[in-house]
Amino acid sequence: MRSTRWRCVLKRATAREPFQAETFRVADAADLRVLLMRMHRSPLIEGATPSDRAVLATIISELGTNILKYADRGRIRLVREANNSRPYIDVWAEDDGPGIADLTLAMQDHFTTGRSLGLGLPAARRLADVFEIESEPGAGTRVRARKYIGSSSPASANRPTDVSSDRARPPVSGVPAASAAITFETSVCSRPLSPQPVGGDIASWLPCDNGLLLVVADVTGHGDMAYRVAVRLPAMLSQLATSQVGDMLRALDHELRGSAGAAVGVLFLDPEAREFRYAGVGNTGVSRVNGSPWRGVSRDGVVGLRMPDVFEQHGALQHGDRFVLWTDGVDGERIRTARLNGLTLSADELSRDIVAGHGRAEDDALAVVVGWPA
């Protein structure tokens, strides 16, 4: 039978660091969870930024879930090399399953032959810096997804620049200091419900429309089932990103239909207009903890399941403003603006302090801190 191929050709460079590799079997959901935990501790990802780690975990989860769904079992191999002194991880996913009859169709968003969001292969392709897939009906599927790691990582042609480091610098034009990039301080801290190794709370932020877009989401439920929806959100958000926070929530509601849904809060910081905008649905919260007191309102509902009318809020944005966003695993009523205003804690210290001090023991917990330094 004739094989079907869809691929992006790779060019090999000669300068490389020593070859390193690890191979993992994937036969059930427990194998995939172990793989993800070991990946975060592996020397293979030394020098990876928090953003690199999140993208690699999402790629591995998408490709591993695809193996379990369609081939029952397979292998994922992580290979670290470098070309021109730029380290990268190649994620190889291989199985001996039935193969894919129409790869062009399979690479389209929301195509699925199973009961899922249909984002596995397209999401992995968007997140990877280089992507290659080869499949032959009756003879299995082989995928390679490459992610450059470290500060020298190039922006992928498949996706917008992802901002997940402590200092996010989206370009801003049309302001008096047009030659200088606007700098935001950002940090996220999260922990799953014990004893689960993973949870359904996730945060994403990225440059958008000359500002910074932040999204916090709490997928309904806990553990592995919630996590499988949560890890798909970064790829969705990179495609849906807009400064119009209400439109973003409505688009995300459409994408999450058929899933368990999520509580979602969306904050956009617009330094050019010196304005912020917020809209939220479900048990998420936001408060300005440095600057003029302000607290956002999230409408009752569930994105993807029970969507209310969107309530957009906005206010003036000033240098020195700092916001905290949280999911309902954090007791938001105990986040007192008066206590936090004027503190000199870093964003990292503050996000960790909030989760440690105000996180509920019976739920996943997540807090994001973002500030426009004075």
Q: Are 138 and 212 within one domain? A: no
Residue 15 within any structural domain of the chain: yes
Residue with more model confidence, 303 or 127: 303
294-316 b/e (C-beta count within 10 Å ≥ 16 → b): bebebeebbbbbebeebeebeee
What pLDDT digit, counting tens, does each position of 168-212 carry?
322 222 222 222 346 788 888 888 888 877 788 988 888 888 889
The CATH number assigned to the domain holding 351 equals 3.60.40.10
Q: Residue 166 — pLDDT band, cuts 50, 70, 90?
A: very low
The two three-digit tokens of residue 330, written as one number: 């954090």
Which residue range forms the structural domain that includes residue 49? 4-148
Q: Is the pLDDT score of 76 beyond 50?
A: yes
* pLDDT for the residue numbered 298: 94
Q: Are 182 and 264 within one domain? A: yes
Distance CA 108, CA 117 (A): 12
State the chain's mean pLDDT as an integer.
Answer: 78
Q: Are 190 and 333 within one domain? A: yes
Phi, psi of 291 (to 5 degrees): 110, -165
Q: Are 196 and 59 within one domain? A: no
Average pLDDT over residues 216-233: 84
176-185 long-range contacts (CB < 8 A, ≥24 apart) are 182/271, 182/372, 183/372, 183/373, 184/212, 184/269, 184/370, 184/371, 184/372, 184/373, 185/322, 185/346, 185/347, 185/369, 185/370, 185/371, 185/372, 185/373
* pLDDT for the residue numbered 55: 78
What pLDDT digit, counting tens, does each position of 245-257 carry?
999 999 999 989 8
Residue 133 within any structural domain of the chain: yes
* pLDDT for the residue numbered 129: 84
Q: Is the pLDDT score of 301 beyond 80?
A: yes
Among 217, 241, 219, 258, which Cα is nearest to 112's? 258
Lowest mean pLDDT among 189-193, 286-290, 293-297, 340-344: 340-344
DSSP string for residues in 267-306: EEEETTTTEEEEEEESSEEEEEEESS-EE--EESSBBTTB
Average pLDDT over residues 85-111: 78
The two three-digit tokens of residue 25, written as one number: 């079997």
The CATH number assigned to the domain holding 8 equals 3.30.565.10
With vertex at residue 299, the alpha carbon angle to CA 297 and CA 301, rounded to the nearest 5 degrees, is 150
Contacting residues for 79 by C-beta, under 8 A, at least 6 apart: 19, 20, 21, 89, 90, 92
Give me the percent of the chain exceeding a pLDDT of 70: 78
Q: Are 226 and 348 within one domain? A: yes
Looking up tokens 């599927």 gives: 141
* pLDDT for the residue numbered 135: 85
Phi, psi of 364 (to 5 degrees): -60, 150
* pLDDT for the residue numbered 157: 34
Residue type, 173: S
Q: Are 106 and 199 within one domain? A: no
Q: Is the pLDDT score of 53 beyond 60?
A: yes
Q: Which of 116, 148, 180 is the last residue in one of the domains?
A: 148
For residue 35, is it left (φ>0), alpha (ψ between -120 and 50) or beta? alpha
Distance CA 325, CA 202 (A): 11
